[in-house]
Amino acid sequence: MTMLAVRELHVHLGESHVLQGVSFEIREGGVTALLGRNGVGKTTTLRGLLGLAPRRGSIVLDGAEISALPTHEVVRRGVGYVPENREVFAGLTVQENLRLAERPGGRHHYDLVYELFPRLKERRAQRAGTMSGGEQQMLALARALLNDNRVLLVDEPSQGLAPHLVADVADALARVAELVTIVLVEQNLSLVRRLARDAVVLDQGRAVWAGDAGELLGDPGRTRDYLGVGVAR
Ligand SMILES: Nc1ncnc2c1ncn2[C@@H]1O[C@H](COP(=O)(O)OP(=O)(O)OP(=O)(O)O)[C@@H](O)[C@H]1O
């Protein structure tokens, strides 16, 4: 089943026509990677889906058109966002960060979050800013999982993390992907290889390839042409 269908999405930022008619579909469940060279518009696509960037085009979430909705309404319909750089409140405790993320009127899945991330439970009284980067990334994911989300948009979760922390974050994302559909922007192709079932590639303001992530990453020519890198190990 299709969870998210994007048709002819356009975003202008300042003078730049960054997204020039992006179209793709995200299947329900698992991880779809949104890939492409630096600056191609991956973050802008996530922000456009959320209404954080002014957009034009069609965005259908689970059968309902959401492209004209304001951000808070898109979020209320079950689209969670884990932005780049984690953005946790460093001076607040883990528990306070989670409490601030509670979406009014919905259910809050503390049991799920603490089961998935026992370290957050152990550290619930600790200030977020004193935790490791990997733990902060888990807190950022936990904030999105606390609410009833159908889709999580996760931007560069491995950025700036030491390799052993990347492995922890990958384990967490793999478990989260059993519960909710994930759209993942990620430069670390070994992480993409491990987690993603499907992939969409952006280039020059459009989606230029979509299909099986393993097929893309298993093809050195395509990986080089689309992503500007050598073969992912
Ligand atoms: N506020 C802005 N005004 C004008 N141009 C912008 C603005 N924000 C981003 N851009 C440009 O839009 C393009 C897309 O940026 P975006 O961050 O979406 O790319 P990305 O694919 O996520 O890149 P990266 O892999 O480097 O994170 C870039 O060329 C960027 O310079």
Contact assessment for residue 80 and residue 62, using Cβ atoms and an 8 Å cutoff: no
Convert the pLDDT of each residue in 178-214 to its tens digit. Answer: 989 999 999 999 999 999 999 999 999 999 999 999 9
Atom 6 (ligand 1) nearest CA: 13
Q: Does residue 191 fall inside a structural domain?
A: yes
Q: Which domain holds residue 142?
A: 2-227
- Say if CB 149 and CB 183 are below 8 A apart: no
The reply to whether 136 falls in a domain is yes
Task: Provide the H-helix boundaries in 25-159.
Answer: 42-50, 71-76, 94-101, 110-116, 118-122, 133-145
Q: Could you tell me if residue 232 is inside a domain? A: no
The predicted pLDDT at position 42 comes to: 96
Q: What is the distance in A from the centroid of ligand 1 to the CA of 136? A: 24
Domain assignment present for residue 233? The answer is no
Q: How far apart are CA 19 and CA 10, in angstroms?
A: 5
Inform me whether the pLDDT recorded for 90 exceeds 90: yes
- Please name the residue whose Cα sits nearest to atom 25 of ligand 1: 38
Segment among 11-15, 30-34, 170-174 with least mean pLDDT:
170-174
The Cα 144–Cα 177 span in angstroms is 13
Ligand 1 contact, 152 CB (< 6 A): no
Q: What is the pTM of this model?
A: 0.93
Provide the percentage of residues in the chain whose pLDDT is more than 90.
73
* CATH number of the CATH domain containing 51: 3.40.50.300
Task: Report whether pLDDT(233) > 50.
Answer: no
**190 in a structural domain:** yes
Q: Does residue 67 form part of some domain?
A: yes
Mutate to test the pocket of ligand 1, among 9, 12, 13 (most ligand atoms within 8 A of CB): 13
> Using one digit for the tens of pLDDT, what is the confidence trace for 128-185?
999 988 889 889 989 988 998 999 999 999 988 888 888 888 988 998 899 899 999 9
| Token pair listed for 137 | 């990334």
Per-residue confidence at 106, pLDDT binned at 50, 70, 90? confident
Q: What is the ipTM score, two decimals? A: 0.92
Which pLDDT band, with edges at 50, 70 and 90, does 105 fall under?
confident
Does any domain span residue 66?
yes
Q: Is the predicted pLDDT of residue 85 greater than 80, yes or no?
A: no
Q: Give pLDDT, residue 225.
A: 87
Are 154 and 184 contacting, i.e. CB atoms less than 8 angstroms apart?
Answer: yes
How does pLDDT run across 52-80, given as a tens digit for each residue? 999 999 999 999 999 999 999 999 999 99
What pLDDT was estimated at residue 230?
57
The Å distance, Cα 39 to ligand 1 centre, comes to 5
Q: What is the DSSP string of 140-208?
A: HHHHHHTS--SEEEEE-TTTT--HHHHHHHHHHHHHHTTTSEEEEE-S-HHHHHHH-SEEEEEETTEEE
Asked if the structure places residue 217 within a domain, the reply is yes
Element (DSSP H or E) covering residue 9: strand 2-13
107 Cα distance to chain centroid: 21
pLDDT score at 169: 86
Number of domains, the chain = 1
Ligand 1 and 36: CB distance under 6 A? yes
Asked if residue 47 has its Cβ within 6 Å of ligand 1, the reply is no
Task: Convert 125-157 to b/e letters by CB count within 10 Å (16 or more is b).
Answer: eebbeebebbbbbbbbbbbbbbbebebbbbbbb
Q: Is the pLDDT of residue 232 over 60?
A: no
For tokens 């300042």, the residue is 14
Q: What is the mean pLDDT of the chain?
A: 92
User: Is a pLDDT exceeding 50 seen at residue 94?
Assistant: yes
The sign one gets for the Cα dihedral 126, 84, 5, 198 is negative
